[in-house]
Amino acid sequence: MSTRLTTDLDFDKDGKQVTYLRLPYSSNVSAYGWVGVPIAQIKNGKGPTVLFMAGNHGDEFEGQITLAKLIRRLDPKQVQGRLIVVPMANFPAAMAGYRTSPIDAGNLNRTFPGDPNGTLTQMIAHYIEEVLMPMCSGLLDMHSGGRTLHYIPSALAAIESIDKPDPKHLAAVKAFGAPIAYLVNFGENRTSSAGGRRKGLVSVGTELGGTGQVSPETLKIAEEGAQNMLEHFGLVEAKPGRNKRQSRVMYVGGYPYYVHAPTRGWFEPLFDLGDTVKAGQTAGLIQFIDEPMREPVPVTFGHDGVVICRRPPVQVERGDCIAHLATDVNL
Ligand code: CA
């Protein structure tokens, strides 16, 4: 497969290698330069190949920290097969601590399958989908709420239909062991998960916390989850007696599950993360502090459910996502 990225990583070699994908970037300050996207491989003999990635969105730090720790911690002798780790997938975005790349404004998780001759973000997406994914049977892409959303720590998988969820994806999303394991309809074809599907991988994502912060609790869930996925994908043997959390299995449906701001202003929430709400219930009020006499605009929930995600920043523009719901499913 044609790609402009190069690396000195030898994908056939046993042991631990930690190096860079060299992403060509000719700029005002470096005519013939490259940007180094960190990549690691931990391999021992024959077995499955699995890709763990984070920093797809640069302001989602839980997965990035967890995968850096995993690269240091994991001894090749502990695995059977090959683990490829890309802890800061959209490296320019991750270095800036932004969701999107400051170089080309690229949102990596809206860029798959990418373009080998495109922008930096498009070239990264293309390399992941066309070079890395075809080697793999499993994908873990660790996201969180980033700076503008806060999640109850969750693992997720995209499915064709909630009526007949693919058993491999259902088993994998439960295996992560987050407080919530949710299924979401497979509507977006520009994500890593969609790329994984195109290449026949079992693809699991996460939404771990967010708000631009990390906490001991979310990092513990992230680290245990990564270990659980190593076991689930068959790279390490399951340790007997280790207590795994049973996830609450939920479904995130379409548009009515999401609450969006109908106008700009200051959002006063009338709910907390984790609340059970009803369709038609007032989610909050959009206040107009700059026009103190103006009546606030109420915002309502469009569906029954549990609030698993909310937006912490108070100021909203029309169209900002304020919250989204999930509903229990018996699967
Ligand atoms: Ca994300």
pLDDT tens-digit readout, 59-84: 999 999 999 999 999 999 999 999 99
Query: Are 226 and 185 contained in the same domain?
Result: yes
Question: What is the whole-number distance in angstroms between the Cα of residue 219 and the centre of ligand 1?
Answer: 16
Pair 161, 39 in one domain? yes
Q: Tell me whether residue 330 is in a domain.
A: no
Residues 180 and 309 in one domain: no
Q: What mean pLDDT value characterizes the chain?
A: 97
Of 218, 252, 286, which residue sits at a domain end? Answer: 252
pTM (whole model) above 0.95:
yes
- What CATH number is attached to the domain comprising 68? 3.40.630.10
Q: Clarify whether residues 200 and 265 are in a common domain.
A: no
Q: How confident is the model at residue 150 (pLDDT cuts 50, 70, 90)?
A: very high
CA angle 234, 238, 240 (to 5 degrees): 165
* Separation of CA 185 and ligand 1 centre (Å): 16
Number of structural domains found in the chain: 2
Q: DSSP alpha helices (H): ranges in the chain?
A: 61-73, 91-96, 120-127, 167-175, 192-198, 216-232
Share of the chain above pLDDT 90, in %: 96
From CA 46, how far away is CA 44, in angstroms rounded? 7
Q: What is d(CA 202, CA 229) in angstroms, rounded to the nearest whole number?
A: 11
Tell me the CA–centroid distance for residue 132 and ligand 1, in Å: 20
Quick one: 192 and 310 in the same domain?
Answer: no
Average pLDDT of span 133-140: 98
Task: Give the domain-ending residue among 219, 252, 285.
Answer: 252
Q: pLDDT-derived band of residue 134, with 50, 70 and 90 as boundaries? A: very high
Q: Which one-letter amino acid corresponds to residue 308?
A: I
> How many A from CA of 112 to the centre of ligand 1?
14
Q: With the C-alpha atoms ordered 212, 217, 221, 226, is the resulting torsion angle positive or negative?
A: positive
Distance 251 CA to ligand 1 centre (A): 18
CA–centroid distance, residue 147 to ligand 1 (Å): 10
Whole-angstrom CA distances from 139 to 78, 86, 191 are: 19, 11, 12
Q: How far away, in angstroms, is 144 Cα from ligand 1 center?
A: 5
145: CA distance to ligand 1 center in Å? 6
Q: CB of 132 within 8 A of CB of 112?
A: no
What distance in angstroms lies between residue 131's CA and the mean position of ligand 1's atoms? 22
Q: Distance from the CA of 331 to the center of ligand 1, in angstroms?
A: 25
User: Is 248 among the domain residues?
Assistant: yes
**124 plus 265 within the same structural domain:** no
Q: What is the pLDDT of residues 280-302, one digit of tens each?
A: 999 999 999 999 999 999 999 99
Inter-CA distances, 251 with 17, 117, 159, 163, 328, Å:
39, 38, 10, 11, 6
> Cα(173) to centroid of ligand 1, in Å?
17
Query: How far, in Å, from the CA of 323 to the mean position of ligand 1?
Result: 15
Whether residue 319 sits in one domain with residue 303: yes
Whether the predicted pLDDT of 28 surpasses 90: yes
On whether both 71 and 195 belong to a single domain, the answer is: yes
Look at residue 1 and tell me if it is in a domain.
Answer: no
The verdict on 242 and 268 lying in the same domain is: no
* Any domain includes 226: yes
Domain limit, last residue, from 205, 220, 252: 252
Q: Are 299 and 284 spatial neighbours (Cβ–Cβ below 8 Å)? A: yes
Residue 331 lies in a domain: no
Compute the distance from residue 141 Cα to the ligand 1 centre, in Å: 9
Percent of the chain surpassing pLDDT 70: 100
Domain extent, residue 283, equals: 259-323
Confirm whether 328 is domain-assigned: no
Residues 156 and 216 in one domain: yes
60 alpha carbon to ligand 1 midpoint, in Å?
7
The phi-psi region of residue 265 (left if phi > 0; otherwise alpha if psi is between -120 and 50; otherwise beta) is: left
pLDDT number for residue 21: 98
Same domain assignment for residues 140 and 189: yes
**201 falls within a domain:** yes
**Together in a domain, 275 and 244:** no
Say if 234 falls within a structural domain: yes
> Which CATH number belongs to the domain containing residue 301 in this structure?
2.40.50.100
